[in-house]
């Protein structure tokens, strides 16, 4: 169910008495056809085939093949390295699937975690399938899920998603939110945007009715790296032949809440995130196979490495021919969509969904009832008052739901009917992606966080954190405060050229612990990394380092940061990943006010030692010191325990560079540092001698 529409009555029979004779004739004629008409069924399999699931087996290798590098990296946060996958993750056994096809069944979906296939066939084929030895059960998709002892997945398509090295948006200045400012302000998102935190590196999945993203100016540049239509089984998620005219509207506006970028009109919560889109919901009907589509989409996204999934959908009542849930069955682990959401969270995916728009107590829909999901209510622009339409808990077993809230009234979104237009709308369909975007900002700062840790941090900063309730759960979170609670905020770096340097700027919050911030740079063709120190500027929380531009030789260099504060952090977090510094162009994070960046010499270390690691028989290094003021320069070389090894005072002569040759022939192996005092600037330059 898409929350911004009503169910549509599809059939209306009139004048039965007038045409009763004709109807009887038609029934007599059509009955044999109806008995063999195609229906959709769930075919539950007894196992994944005869082969043992172990390293080196064909089934194990097939499982590895359908999960990409990004998925494996995310799973490593929640599983041991030697147990990333189980038999539940393995593909369905192909000989079983071939047998279904041989009985004239069209295979629509293959779900690995619960080991069943969705097929379309006539009743005679279904009868034949039910007698197969490897089939444990077969039911029409209009029935409820038959709970089995197996867990649940789908075989993905050929996409191999790799995180992009490019920013979607750069050098765009301070954000001009236009009318979208309030929806970002309520969860305190602008405080992170101004640091340049915009969701880069996070892959967000959206499960919805369709996406017309290429056709709107605010979405055309979105970093969509894959999309799939689970209704027509193709890679086009916008409207196509056979779709309801409004089929792709709902997903488009949901996407715009997170990804939109149109200065003066709409700034999404995480515009620099990457996106993977799934079309699963059929506008104009409400059938249980939409739950299977949802499950297939979530399994596909998980195997492709998604970090967060938003679903502004909900299920409870269906068309008259479909079996219905009782409210008691919305207990967090019964419906198809609740079960698959819980399985995804166990695999490291943060799942977020809308609570629903039915207003009264005990109107939560599924998967909002799921144990592990974050269900989001709608509040007014004050961030506190629950919207009248917002579905309320508790869920079927009495547990508090929803979990969080966000602004869901008069939210600025794209107009899906106008490629350059904007409208205001409401619903929990829009409050959910606001929380999803906020969670993406947290994950971009702390990629090591697991889903339940993000939940906990957001809950702790909610407006109702002390008294959670069935209207708004823990309330509207403060994502900036959540980021500060999670650890030391180290913002994405900005780089720009100034005089003979490349200046590197970041923000570190809080900075009251006087962190040591080091930048390690590997220039093109170099063997190792050179080290540069960051120094605080006159702007609170801002740190800057300077690198002589000549060292780049006009080619990009690899880099990473080490921040020693309350605990040590490496940026990027994963060992082996690096940042790229391009000396030929400025790369300033969107949202950041570049006018506050340091000018030449202000608050920034710019002395450097080349090389910073001295190996074997290399005994000479060069210390380069820029002179900006009219002061003498003093420097001293110290051992790692602070013993002064050498010192020198250099009288002021003129502004510019001075170069000092450092002879380390008599130095033993170990770590050293140079303390350079140049007027009010004091710089610490570490180096290592390796014999």
Closest CA to 305 of 466, 447, 429, 148: 447
Task: Indicate whether 678 belongs to any domain.
Answer: yes
Same domain assignment for residues 274 and 406: yes
Within-domain flag for 227:
yes
Q: Is residue 153 part of a domain?
A: no
Do residue 118 and residue 227 come from a single domain? no
| Number of C-beta neighbours around residue 372 at 10 A | 20
CATH of the domain at 477: 3.40.50.200
**Cis link prior to 612 (omega < 30° from 0)?**
no
Taking alpha carbons only, the member of 409, 365, 416, 414 closest to residue 247 is 416
Same domain, 478 and 509: no
Tell me, what CATH number does 586's domain have? 2.60.40.10
Q: Judge whether 151 lies within some domain.
A: no
As given in the structure block, the two tokens for residue 594 are 């570049």
Same-domain status, 616 and 513: no
Q: Are residues 113 and 245 located together in one domain of the fold?
A: no
The mean of the pLDDT values for the chain is 86
C-beta separation of 110 from 91 below 8 A: yes
Answer yes or no: is pLDDT of 410 > 80: yes
Q: How far apart are CA 664 and CA 159, in angstroms?
A: 54
Compute the distance between CA of residue 447 and CA of residue 305 in angstroms, rounded to an integer: 13
472 and 504 in a common domain: no
Residue 298 has pLDDT above 90, yes or no: yes
Inform me whether the pLDDT recorded for 270 exceeds 50.
Answer: yes
**What 3-state DSSP class applies to 329?**
helix
- By three-state DSSP, how is residue 72 classified? helix
Same domain, 301 and 429: yes
Bond preceding residue 572 cis, omega within 30 of 0: yes
My answer on whether 279 and 396 are in the same domain is: yes
- pLDDT per position as a tens digit, 26-75: 444 444 434 445 799 999 999 999 999 999 999 999 999 999 999 999 99
Domain of 624 in residue numbering reads as: 608-690
pLDDT of 155 strictly over 50: no
Q: Confirm whether 24 is domain-assigned.
A: no
Per-residue model confidence as pLDDT tens digits over 612-651: 677 777 788 888 787 766 778 889 998 877 788 999 998 8
Inter-residue contact 579 to 529 (CB < 8 Å): no
Better-scored residue on pLDDT, 319 or 587: 587
Last residue of a domain, one of 595, 618, 636: 595
Note whether 351 and 235 are same-domain residues: yes
User: What does the DSSP 8-state code read for residue 469?
Assistant: B
In this predicted model, what pLDDT tens digit does every residue of 428-451 receive, in sequence order? 999 999 999 999 999 999 999 999
**Are 631 and 540 in the same domain?**
no
Confirm if 170 and 590 have CB atoms less than 8 A apart. yes
User: What's the CATH code of the domain at 80?
Assistant: 3.30.70
| Tokens found for residue 231 | 């209704």
Max avg pLDDT among 66-80, 144-158, 547-561: 66-80
> CB atoms < 10 A from the CB of 640, how many?
11
pTM over 0.85: no
369, pLDDT greater than 70: yes
Count the domains in the chain. Answer: 4
Residues 214, 358, single domain; the answer is: yes
**Structural domain ending residue among the three candidates 111, 140, 169:** 140
In a domain, 11, yes or no: no
Given strand 613-615, what is the order of strands in its sheet? 613-615, 681-690, 670-678, 633-639, 644-650
555 within a domain of the structure (yes/no): yes
Q: Which of helix, strand or coil describes residue 615?
A: strand
In this structure, are 299 and 379 located in the same domain?
A: yes
Domain boundary among 140, 164, 189: 140
Q: What is the pLDDT of residues 208-228, one digit of tens each?
A: 999 999 999 999 999 999 999
- 600 domain residue, yes or no: no
The greatest distance separating any two alpha carbons of the chain, rounded to the nearest whole angstrom, comes to 114
């Amino acid at each position: 169910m898409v929350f911004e529409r009503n169910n549509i009555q599809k059939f209306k029979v009139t004048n039965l008495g007038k045409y009763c004779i004709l109807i009887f004739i038609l029934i007599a004629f059509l009955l044999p056809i109806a008995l063999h008409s195609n229906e959709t069924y769930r075919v539950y399999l007894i196992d994944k085939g005869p082969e043992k699931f172990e390293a080196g087996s064909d089934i194990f290798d097939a499982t590895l093949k359908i999960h990409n590098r990004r998925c494996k990296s995310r799973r490593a946060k929640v599983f041991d390295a030697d147990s990333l996958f189980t038999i539940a993750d393995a593909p369905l056994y192909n000989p079983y699937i071939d047998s279904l096809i041989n009985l004239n069944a069209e295979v629509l979906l293959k779900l690995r975690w619960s080991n069943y296939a969705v097929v379309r066939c006539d009743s005679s084929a279904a009868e034949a399938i039910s007698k197969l030895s490897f089939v444990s059960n077969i039911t029409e998709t209009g029935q409820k899920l038959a709970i089995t002892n197996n867990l649940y997945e789908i075989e993905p398509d050929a996409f191999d998603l790799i995180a992009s090295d490019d920013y979607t948006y750069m050098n765009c200045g301070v954000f001009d939110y236009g009318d979208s400012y309030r929806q970002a302000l309520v969860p305190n998102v602008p405080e992170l945007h101004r640091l340049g935190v915009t969701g880069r590196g996070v892959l967000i999945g959206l499960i919805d009715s369709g996406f017309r993203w290429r056709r709107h100016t605010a979405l055309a540049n979105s970093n969509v790296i894959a999309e799939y239509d689970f209704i027509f089984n193709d890679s086009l998620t916008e409207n196509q032949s056979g779709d309801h005219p409004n089929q792709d509207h709902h997903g488009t506006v949901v996407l715009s809440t997170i990804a939109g970028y149109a200065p003066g009109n709409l700034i999404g919560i995480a515009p620099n995130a990457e996106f993977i889109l799934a079309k699963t919901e059929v506008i104009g009907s409400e059938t249980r196979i939409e739950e299977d589509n949802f499950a297939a989409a979530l399994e596909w996204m998980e195997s492709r490495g998604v970090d967060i999934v938003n679903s502004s959908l909900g299920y409870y009542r269906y068309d008259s021919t479909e079996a219905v849930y009782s409210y008691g069955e919305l207990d967090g682990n019964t419906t198809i969509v609740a079960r698959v959401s819980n399985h995804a969270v166990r695999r490291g995916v943060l799942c977020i969904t809308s609570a629903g728009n039915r207003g009264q107590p005990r109107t939560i829909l599924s998967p909002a009832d799921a144990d592990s999901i974050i269900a989001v209510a709608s509040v007014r622009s004050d961030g506190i008052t629950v919207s009248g339409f917002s579905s309320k808990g508790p869920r079927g077993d009495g547990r508090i739901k929803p979990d969080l809230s966000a602004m869901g009234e008069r939210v600025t979104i794209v107009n899906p009917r106008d490629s350059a237009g904007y409208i205001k709308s409401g619903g929990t369909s829009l409050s959910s992606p606001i929380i999803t975007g906020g969670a993406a900002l947290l994950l971009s700062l702390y990629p090591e966080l697991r889903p339940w840790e993000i939940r906990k941090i957001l809950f702790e900063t909610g407006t109702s954190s002390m008294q959670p309730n069935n209207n708004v759960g823990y309330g509207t979170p403060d994502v900036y405060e959540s980021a500060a609670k999670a650890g030391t905020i180290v913002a994405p770096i900005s780089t720009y050229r100034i005089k003979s340097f490349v200046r590197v700027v970041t923000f570190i919050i809080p900075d009251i612990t006087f962190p040591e911030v080091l930048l390690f740079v590997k220039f093109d063709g170099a063997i190792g990394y050179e080290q540069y120190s960051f120094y605080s500027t006159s702007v609170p929380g801002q740190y800057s380092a300077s690198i002589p531009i000549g060292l780049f030789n006009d080619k990009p260099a690899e880099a990473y940061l080490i921040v020693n504060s309350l605990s040590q952090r490496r940026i990027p977090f994963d060992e082996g990943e690096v940042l790229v510094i391009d000396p030929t162009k400025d790369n300033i994070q969107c949202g950041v006010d570049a006018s506050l960046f340091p000018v030449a010499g202000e608050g920034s270390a710019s002395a450097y030692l080349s090389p910073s690691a001295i190996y074997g028989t290399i005994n000479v290094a060069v210390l380069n010191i820029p002179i900006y003021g009219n002061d003498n320069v003093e420097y001293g070389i110290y051992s790692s325990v602070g013993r002064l090894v050498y010192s020198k005072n250099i009288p002021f002569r003129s502004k510019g560079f001075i170069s000092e040759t450092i002879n380390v022939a008599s130095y033993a192996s170990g770590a050293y540092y140079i303390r350079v005092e140049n007027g009010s600037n004091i710089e610490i330059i570490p180096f290592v001698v390796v014999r």
